[in-house]
Structure 1
């Protein structure tokens, strides 16, 4: 079969395998933007959600009575799906790779790996997020399933390296395709008084913003300790924490820590923030902080930079790859170092001016158009340059 000379001349059929739901999460946003972009390129796209295996309904009812919501669990780590006819089957998240062990699609299979951090931290009692034995077992099965894909797409070079080091996958079977951000949405915004009133963020204060969960790997304890140090010199500095509390035990630990540090009134826990309000909150903040120990891809640093907000981020995982020299990178285990970096950006006019100018230029490199173009090129390469099935034994 002759390969088209450009991706715009190829009109293949793609089945996107994805969990139900919208763009409220990073993965959901990726699926939505990828689907829209592929359709705009003229490809025929069908979106397929996993389904529960066809067991008698009484089995699911009995398991639910025992406290096991198996249907919901099997949406996250599926074992069954009905596949349409397609040229390429694209699993849009690594946890969906359990399908490849139980019900592999009939054609070429690509899997996007956002990160394998839960698996990497499975034996770390402080950072592991496994709640049950089933979490541990099915995530292990998903990692095994990745070996049965024809090709993998990693969000970052960091994620690709973790696949090589922790799963023993061959480098040539993994391509890096960075994600994008919506530059029409994420740009500097005028901060209205209505927004300040709605979120309880009065003028006259200076704000740090963190967007994300309380997953222990996000390292928010270090951020709170650094904030308490910064406030000794800058009592007007407060923290805006945006995002639902997906880890309630960790949220409570952080609330207790804030009380012990005497900074409880300086933290704004904003659990429910519509995405359309995020650009204005970034614009309101004096700087964005992301102190994560592990991060597969950090949307918030790019979103903040696109809004002209200075970024202080951990010199760890994928964050240096995204931030480059357009922000301030710190050792995420060094509380004083983080506090000093925050103070330097807050006080340093020249440093602040530099990162405010460099940030938008850096963020402009990350577009969904580029993500779609590179993904489409991978589809073609998989179909035309690697015609033989390539499944690595588990």
Structure 2
């Protein structure tokens, strides 16, 4: 079977959550002897991605591949013809939308990887209300088109699958769950502890969208530090401009961004606990990555976070500052142990399990 893969997320941001999952899907498809993989992407004319992917003759702006006009040109003018010329049997769109605009050729099948629907259900980060409204309308049409036209919709969690079925009830019969791949820490180089890290620290990964719930968490952590000297310092992977100005320079807060994978893995390895305070997650990649290192996690209740961590992991109400503070103080005074059971939990998202799930879904399509 000849499979076409929308590689744009990996071209633009290979270290992002979606970009890493595109790379995971790529490697799983390459390992299948019955599959021939073709990557489809857009990139500047001098970009090395053009050596390994099918790209339009025109150059694309690397920082703007998700702009509506750039996407339309790729999905309407380039993609339908390219898929036909390459005789692709199955095309997989990998970023919540992006299936070709136009009539689907006979015998060709389309899959949509739908990570989440927060573009439609949550307040997202935009520079202006007008831009937010415009993107909400465009995203609604784009996602609805792709869900409608897809032969299958693959979601990384039961939560995302249920949300897709709720918003698009006509598509419930074709929605399936393909849990994300999370590489085990043993597959990575030995993570070295950075010399500038505090002896004890908690870790949070991700600040960009409001749903990450950073203002509430930072205020709760700051208050807990005022009540107890046992509350560790905090390493936050993200950008200071994503939170209110008064929260950017709290004593004991250490910002990190632009990390290579080995640096991020080292933060997981040496953290006393990973906190995930999001009130909306389609999967929760940092949670599983931390568990793969044997690092305990504490997380908000609700969304996909209810699925990706053991029932024994401490939880708190995402919008309840008092409940969060209770959890913060409890784990400061009595840190959670690192146990083999945490690594064993993360194994359900390891490459072997991912390839098995993927093969089952591909066989279903082929039949």
For the criterion TM > 0.5, the same-fold answer is: yes
Distance of aligned partners of 1:144 and 1:300 in 2 relative to their CA distance in 1, 3 Å threshold: same
Aligned-residue RMSD, C-alpha: 3.1
Distance in 2 separating the partners of 1:187 and 1:333: 36
Distance of aligned partners of 1:274 and 1:299 in 2 relative to their CA distance in 1, 3 Å threshold: same
Name the SS for the 2:348 alignment partner.
coil
Distance in 2 separating the partners of 1:336 and 1:128: 26
Q: How does 1:204-243 map to 2 (within 5 A)?
A: 206-232=200-226, 233-234=228-229, 237-243=232-238
Name the SS for the 1:373 alignment partner.
helix
Q: Is the 8 A contact 2:191 2:262 kept in 1?
A: no
TM-score by length of structure 2 reads 0.82
Distance in 2 separating the partners of 1:188 and 1:72: 36
Q: Is the 8 A contact 1:209 1:241 kept in 2?
A: yes
Q: Is the 8 A contact 2:153 2:176 kept in 1?
A: yes
Instruction: Tell which structure's C-alpha radius of gyration is larger.
Output: 1
Please, which runs of 5 or more residues in structure 2 have no aligned partner?
Answer: 45-55
Q: Is the 8 A contact 2:97 2:112 kept in 1?
A: no
Distance of aligned partners of 1:76 and 1:26 in 2 relative to their CA distance in 1, 3 Å threshold: farther
Identify the residue that residue 329 of structure 1 maps to in structure 2.
Answer: 315
1:247-289: CA deviation from partner (whole Å, max 9, x where unpaired) = x4x33x1x32356xxxx12211111211111221112211100
Distance of aligned partners of 1:287 and 1:158 in 2 relative to their CA distance in 1, 3 Å threshold: same
In the TM superposition, residue 102 of structure 1 has moved relative to its aligned partner by 4.1
Identify the residue that residue 358 of structure 2 maps to in structure 1.
Answer: 375
In the TM superposition, residue 105 of structure 1 has moved relative to its aligned partner by 6.0
Distance in 2 separating the partners of 1:71 and 1:217: 21
TM-score by length of structure 1 reads 0.77
Name the SS for the 1:364 alignment partner.
helix
Aligned length: 339
Identify the residue that residue 52 of structure 2 maps to in structure 1.
Answer: none
Distance of aligned partners of 1:294 and 1:169 in 2 relative to their CA distance in 1, 3 Å threshold: farther
Please, which runs of 5 or more residues in structure 1 have no aligned partner?
Answer: 1-11, 122-126, 385-394
1:88-135: CA deviation from partner (whole Å, max 9, x where unpaired) = 1111121324x3x446466111111000111112xxxxx333551442
Distance in 2 separating the partners of 1:277 and 1:70: 27
Identify the residue that residue 91 of structure 2 maps to in structure 1.
Answer: 89
